[in-house]
Structure 1
Amino acid sequence: MPFAALGDILTHYREDGPEDGPVLAFANALGTELSIWDDVVARLPDGLRVIRYDMRGHGQTSVPPGPYYMGDLVQDAGRLFDHLGAREVVMVGLSIGGMVAQGLAAERLDLIRAMVLSNTASKIGTSEIWQDRIAQVRDGGIEAVADATMERWFPRATRRTHPGLVARARAMLVAQDPEGFMACAAAIGETDLYESTARLTLPTLGIAGSEDGSTPTDLVRETTSLIKGAKFEIIRRAGHVPCIDQPETYAAVLTAFLTEIGHI
């Protein structure tokens, strides 16, 4: 898969579908790589130009020294879309990726047509929570937070009945660079997008997992409701990463939204 030289980083990305197709872009959660969308993308209609990328500090993208700021992550996404000549993008952002989507929509409406805010919010947690998590990783590596993270990411039933699925997600998490993880965690901790998101008017879908331990349904609903006319969907029996544990339902919800706004 290719890389794009974007300012101070090399961004690892992947494109699927026709170059002239309507653009659908995905931004990942903290501690994950672009592969988390594989099972969703496989279930989407043909004809879309699908863009996925590894956020700075993650996957095969560069890991510059931290801390990072949300503005860095927003700029990275905008630069990637500019590099690829992507316009009229429907951007799907999961968790920190959803914060990036909100920030990019506020700054670069020339790029973004619509967005999907998945398992995210305008503000996630508190600075103290994120500083504590950063301290745990600094002392013990990502392994120190891995089990607690799986409990937030996956419902109890999924952890019991699909241990292999959870094990693969855990392996992906602990394989990330601790410096990149901590730097992105710091970006989440200092970000509050309430005012800028409340000014947005573009078509928006909010998606929540009914058993999400990181961004509960009411938190996702509250952020989605900031945007006039936004839709909101709850995926039942899903946690913080429904693209992994409920990909068929996730793809169906996303396809319905893309159809409604005339993107497919």
Structure 2
Amino acid sequence: MPMLNVRGEEFHIRIDGAEGAPVLLLSNSLGTNLSMWDPQIPAWSQHFRVVRYDSRGHGRSPAQDKPYSIAMLADDALAILDALGIEKAHWCGLSKGGMVGQWLATHHGERLGRVVLANTAAHMGPPELWDGRIRTVRTQGMGVLVQPTLERWFTPEFRESAKETVAKVSEMLATTPAVGYANCCAAIRDMDQRESIRAIASPVLVVIGGRDPATPPAAGHEIADAIPGARRVELDAAHLSNLEQPAGFEKAVTDFLKG
């Protein structure tokens, strides 16, 4: 089922794992697609029915040029669950996917089991930074953002030692529709969940990249401090910690989800 019609819009999805297993829904970061989760799928699909999707305006999910919000992106995830007949799922989202997860856990906690919020933030300012990035990508395209983004997302030693992985992420960035990227930037710019996440009652694990300049450790600790009972784990990684520390990420999430 590579494409799923959701409320008249197409979303690219992939499902791995046995039917009847607990469902784990994965949500990608800004500028990537569902293949960012490839390293974790062999292990996670042994325990879960893993559903992943290209978020709106990313990968093979079409990019409509209209205002996006975190609430809209969360509604997409709910609609995908509905279209697949899934009442409840665990959640794992990284960066933008973690922002969507915060909104879902706040407003639709009954649809979620355990929630993993990785390398993310509840608020990301200043607005001028995002406005500048939106102008850049709309006028110059995605290519100009690729190298500086890779430098934020991976530590220098990982960029040197894991060139194949870095090249794959570079390709994801370069092929992300500029319109989809720009509108998701606007959604992040307008987001402030610092107070609302205090109402989250779901079990939460916050994964923090100890060397993450995009969503610094302080942002992860702020989330964990705000959500009652939230656990936290810090990995020696920059922003895409599931790629830089795949084994540690996979184990931390698996142990948490299996409770």
Corresponding residue pairs, total: 259
> Conserved in 1, the CA contact under 8 Å of 2:22 and 2:47?
yes
Q: Which amino acid aligns with 2:167?
A: A
2:54 and 2:131 mapped to 1: Cα distance? 23
Deviations 1:134-172 (CA, angstroms, capped at 9, x unpaired): 111122111111111001100011112222221221111
Any residues of structure 2 matched to 1:93-132 within 5 Å, and which?
Answer: 93-132=93-132
> Conserved in 2, the CA contact under 8 Å of 1:9 and 1:56?
no
Q: Give 1:45 deviation, angstroms.
A: 6.1
1:149 and 1:21 mapped to 2: Cα distance? 36
Q: Give 1:117 deviation, angstroms.
A: 0.6
Q: What SS is found at the alignment partner of 1:211?
A: coil
Deviations 1:67-91 (CA, angstroms, capped at 9, x unpaired): 3111210110010011112233110
Q: What SS is found at the alignment partner of 1:110?
A: helix
> Conserved in 1, the CA contact under 8 Å of 2:208 and 2:235?
yes
The corresponding residue for 1:137 is 137
CA RMSD of aligned residues (A): 1.3
1:172 aligns with 2:169: no
The corresponding residue for 2:80 is 80
The corresponding residue for 1:56 is 56
Q: Which amino acid aligns with 1:129?
A: L
1:166 and 1:45 mapped to 2: Cα distance? 24
Percent of residue pairs bearing the same amino acid type? 36
Q: What SS is found at the alignment partner of 2:92?
A: strand
Q: What SS is found at the alignment partner of 1:165?
A: helix
Deviations 1:30-69 (CA, angstroms, capped at 9, x unpaired): 0000000010122236131111000000011121113311
The corresponding residue for 1:37 is 37
The corresponding residue for 2:70 is 70
1:72 and 1:147 mapped to 2: Cα distance? 29
The corresponding residue for 1:242 is 241
Q: Which amino acid aligns with 1:103?
A: W
The corresponding residue for 2:251 is 252
Q: What SS is found at the alignment partner of 1:103?
A: helix
Deviations 1:81-127 (CA, angstroms, capped at 9, x unpaired): 11112233110011111111111122222311121010001112321
Q: Give 4+ residue runs of structure 1 displaced > 4 Å after superposition.
A: none
2:93 and 2:28 mapped to 1: Cα distance? 6
> Conserved in 1, the CA contact under 8 Å of 2:44 and 2:50?
no
1:98 and 1:8 mapped to 2: Cα distance? 25
The corresponding residue for 2:157 is 157
Q: Which amino acid aligns with 1:249?
A: G
The corresponding residue for 2:219 is 219
Q: Which amino acid aligns with 2:178?
A: P
TM-score, length-scaled by structure 1: 0.94
> Conserved in 2, the CA contact under 8 Å of 1:102 and 1:197?
yes
Which deviates more, 10-19 or 52-61? Answer: 10-19
1:105 and 1:39 mapped to 2: Cα distance? 26
2:137 and 2:45 mapped to 1: Cα distance? 40
Q: Which amino acid aligns with 1:98?
A: G
Which deviates more, 119-128 or 89-98? Answer: 119-128
Gap regions ≥5 residues in structure 1:
none
1:109 and 1:157 mapped to 2: Cα distance? 39
Q: What SS is found at the alignment partner of 1:137?
A: helix
Q: Give 1:242 deviation, angstroms.
A: 1.3
Cα distance change of structure 1 residues 212 and 20 upon mapping to structure 2, 3 Å threshold: same
